[in-house]
Structure 1
Amino acid sequence: MNGAWQTSLKERLSYGLSDGADNLVFQVMTTYLLYFYTDIYGLSAAEVGTLFLIARFADVIESVIIGVMIDHTHSKYGHSRPFFLWYALPYVIVAVLTFVVPPFDHQGKLVWAYATYLLLGFFYSTVNLPITSILPSLTNNSREITLLGVIRQFFGQTSQIIVAIFTLPLIALLGGSDQQRGFLLTIIVFATISLILILNTFVHVRERIKMPPATSFKRTFKMISHNKPWLILSGIIFLYWVTTSMKNQTTIYYFKYNLNAENLVPIVNTFTAAALIGIVAIPFVTRKFSNKQAMMTGLIIASAGQILIAFGSEFFHNLPLIFTGTFINTVGSGMVIALVSIMISDTIKYSQQKFNVEASGLLASTDDFGVNLGLGIGGLITAGLLSQTGYVANHSQNHATLNMIVMNYAWIPLLAYILMIILLALYDQKVIYSYTKQHAD
């Protein structure tokens, strides 16, 4: 039985806006930080690749630590909710500092990049992980959980669209010919909005479903090794963010160097709006189909779009085909990402009911460390291949580099989608439903 709906409209919107807030900063980092570091800040591609790898592995550890912190937090505000209050300001301050170019020598700038980027990863987890961990405590109505997850992804994707469309024009508007100044002023604008929205979430959401006491570390980690649905979902999340990182970071290189059309980047980025179609479709699709079936549909659609991107960029050099593929791919990706927090909530309830283990924060951390590790590996692959093929910033690129950019933009992401489909086929939705008593209506 689903029961009565328990959240108000204001609470649902405030919950969703939390992900929108985080993404205003996060998407700038995901999409443009590699370019910022290589073409503006002055680091080599190899240095950036190493930084991304170290930072992401650090973030994996930090995500687990923060998940455990949430599980063992007992305040008058709840387990997850106080993290929005405690860490919103540090998050946005460090985000701004990450785009500061200090007047140091090269080694000093490298140290600054490490310090700010590592801190940014930590504070991102402190405000983003609670969005997932708090979901099972907002309501025990499965349809309401689905709606909240969709609202969250709707606003998260809307922020991604805003960043994709308006970042480069804002940089040009605020910085003129000075891209360094433009990047700094743009991140200040996004960070300020982010701070307001995160604090708004703290004010308006409530943890009304009491979670069982946190389980011991030993029992929790034993449960994780036997929680097959959670392990499979973690792998899918990781692969999703590897391919997202590679595609997002490579887009500006592909259009700048392969097509000599950097001005088209904001246009192709507008296709990220298509993800909203996939996100909004989820409440309707999951009325007839399981979460697994809905995600599989999204992966198949995303793969079909990626095939068009690959053929359009590799064989035909055809912009309409690339744009069409991007649109289709993004619709499918929207369906996938809309289901992530919902299915993580399923695995949290599954662990509570099958294993009698309460580890909401730790299990929710799969979203964060999947994102962080995926971005790290994706960034490492991109930066490493740029370095190995002889990339030189702001110059015409050699044939090997141009081929590598196409491989990174088109073919490696397609392989990742195929691997996600194989993994998802192993996900046992019937077992999840048998323990959580959630049924597709």
Structure 2
Amino acid sequence: MNQPWQTKWPERISYGLSDAADNLVFQMMTTYLLFFYTDVYGLSASAAAILFVVARLADVIESLIIGIMIDHTHSRFGKSRPFFLWYALPYVIFAVLTFVTPNFSGNGKLIWAYITYLGLGFFYTAVNLPITSILPTLSKNEHELTLLGVIRQFFGSAVQIIVAVFTLPLVSFFGKGNQQSGFLYTIILFGLISLALIWNTFFQVKERFSQPEQAHQPLKDVWKMLKKNKQWFIISIVILLYWLTTAIKNQTTIYYFKYLQNNENLVPLVNGFTFAALIGVVLIVRTSKKIGKKQTMLTGIAVATIGQLILALGTILNQLAVIFTGTFINSIGNGLIIGLVSIMIADTIRYGMTMGIQAEGILASTDDFGVNVGLGFGGLITAGLFHLSGYTANHAQNLATQHMITLNYAWLPLILYVIMFITLLFYNERQLLAAVNQEA
């Protein structure tokens, strides 16, 4: 059933900029925080690994808590929208505090890292989860929801690339040789921009479609719906695998070029090739309309796998041109994957509504759950393997550590892409859309 389009471009752009705002800080976390902790802040790789695990275990609980909070929010602004207003400022404050390097003892610095990073994880969830949960309430038009999801990911991916490319030059510019000051002033800049964009989203977007009789159901009824929502479970696993892959690869990039290529300045260059993710994101609207969202995401995973294989061959041949080519192709595939995540989660939320349960908070929490667990275990795997191989910060690495860096950068992501592809094959898009369209 065709539905009219409800949103206008100012609202669409503002919705998309919410993800851009979050990614200004998020990309700093995924790409540079492990490096900051080990090579700038002074934590050991093992201490950083344990911190990431603890933080991610906490985030698993926090994702569910925020999801429940959204589903039980009663306000004149809606269920999801108030979270942009309430939590933007503490999110930015903790982002800045995470990159502060106080002159404490070893234990004092570790405690500071735990407090700030755990706080940042909670408030990140509080401002990021509503971006996904609010989507199905903006429109009932399937193609409009796809467009909104694509706009969101376009801005999110664009900012990810900007952060990946310009962070180290900004650190150098602000720090003038002092990376502690450089990272701090860089995150302050990103944080202020993020705050303005999140609040702009609050003022510009509107929750239009909510069914009061379905919107605040008891947890036991929500749980019954989740057990029947097989497609939600499958896409949740795919999201987890994607972020695990992303965390392992992104966190290792700077180590690979610093210690194996002996040129840390190549990091902004190789990250520049990830702009190709925007190509994948832009292709989603037409491709998903033609072959469906599941096939589009499967295509993205296949393309990402091919690119990762080329990158891996580049590490064997020690050819930068091959590594850059693989990064470019891999990024196109990643754009197709990540651009569809919030859209397909929105589909499972609408599918849940056909069962009489509107639980967008809890169902959307799977996105942040996947992000948090993927990042946590990605950090654990990376830092843990480095520790076991004898990694020593700011020194030439032994042969075992060099192999571990290459394993994380090239080969583990390749294996995870294959598992991701196989998992998505079990997603039944036809059954889901038939139920949603019948309800509409």
TM-score normalised by the shorter chain: which range applies? over 0.9
Instruction: Indicate yes or no: 2:262 matched with 1:260.
Output: yes
Task: Report the TM-score when normalising by structure 2.
Answer: 0.98
Aligned-residue RMSD, C-alpha:
1.0
Which residue in 1 is equivalent to 2:314?
Answer: 312
What is the identity, as a one-letter code, of the residue corresponding to 2:311? I
Separation in 1, partners of 2:373, 2:223:
19
Separation in 2, partners of 1:44, 1:153:
34
What is the identity, as a one-letter code, of the residue corresponding to 1:342? I
Which residue in 2 is equivalent to 1:398?
Answer: 398
Higher mean alpha-carbon deviation, 176-185 vs 206-215, is at: 206-215
SS in 2 for 1:262: coil
Separation in 2, partners of 1:39, 1:364:
35
Higher mean alpha-carbon deviation, 209-218 vs 60-69, is at: 209-218
Separation in 2, partners of 1:226, 1:140:
22
Structure 1 residue 191: Cα displacement: 0.2
C-alpha contact 1:2 1:143 (8 A) present in aligned 2: no
Separation in 2, partners of 1:165, 1:381:
24
Structure 1 residue 225: Cα displacement: 2.3
Query: Residues 321-336 of structure 1: matches in 2 within 5 Å?
Result: 321-336=322-337
Unaligned 5+ segments in structure 2 are none
Query: Residues 21-420 of structure 1: matches in 2 within 5 Å?
Result: 21-211=21-211, 212-313=214-315, 315-353=316-354, 355-420=355-420
Unaligned 5+ segments in structure 1 are none
Separation in 2, partners of 1:163, 1:382:
21
C-alpha contact 1:6 1:139 (8 A) present in aligned 2: yes
Separation in 2, partners of 1:259, 1:269:
15
Separation in 2, partners of 1:2, 1:234:
28
Structure 1 residue 357: Cα displacement: 1.6
SS in 1 for 2:215: coil
Structure 1 residue 312: Cα displacement: 0.9
Structure 1 residue 352: Cα displacement: 1.1
Separation in 1, partners of 2:224, 2:392:
48
Structure 1 residue 358: Cα displacement: 1.7
Structure 1 residue 226: Cα displacement: 2.5
C-alpha contact 1:88 1:195 (8 A) present in aligned 2: yes
C-alpha contact 1:2 1:140 (8 A) present in aligned 2: no
Deviations 1:367-389 (A, max 9, x none): 00100000000000000001000
Structure 1 residue 5: Cα displacement: 0.6
Structure 1 residue 213: Cα displacement: 2.5
Structure 1 residue 215: Cα displacement: 1.5
SS in 2 for 1:437: helix
Separation in 2, partners of 1:5, 1:366:
27
Structure 1 residue 307: Cα displacement: 0.4
What is the identity, as a one-letter code, of the residue corresponding to 1:37? Y
Separation in 1, partners of 2:328, 2:198:
30
Separation in 2, partners of 1:17, 1:77:
19
Separation in 2, partners of 1:208, 1:62:
27
Q: Matched residue pairs, number?
A: 437
Deviations 1:37-89 (A, max 9, x none): 00011100000000001101110110011001000101010000000000000
Which residue in 1 is equivalent to 2:432?
Answer: 432
Separation in 1, partners of 2:347, 2:416:
24
SS in 1 for 2:77: coil
C-alpha contact 1:139 1:209 (8 A) present in aligned 2: yes
Task: Report the TM-score when normalising by structure 1.
Answer: 0.98
What is the identity, as a one-letter code, of the residue corresponding to 1:12? R
Separation in 1, partners of 2:265, 2:350:
47
Separation in 2, partners of 1:329, 1:149:
21
What is the identity, as a one-letter code, of the residue corresponding to 1:437? N
Structure 1 residue 433: Cα displacement: 1.1
Separation in 2, partners of 1:15, 1:79:
16
Q: Which runs of 4+ in 1 moved over 6 A?
A: none
Higher mean alpha-carbon deviation, 217-226 vs 146-155, is at: 217-226
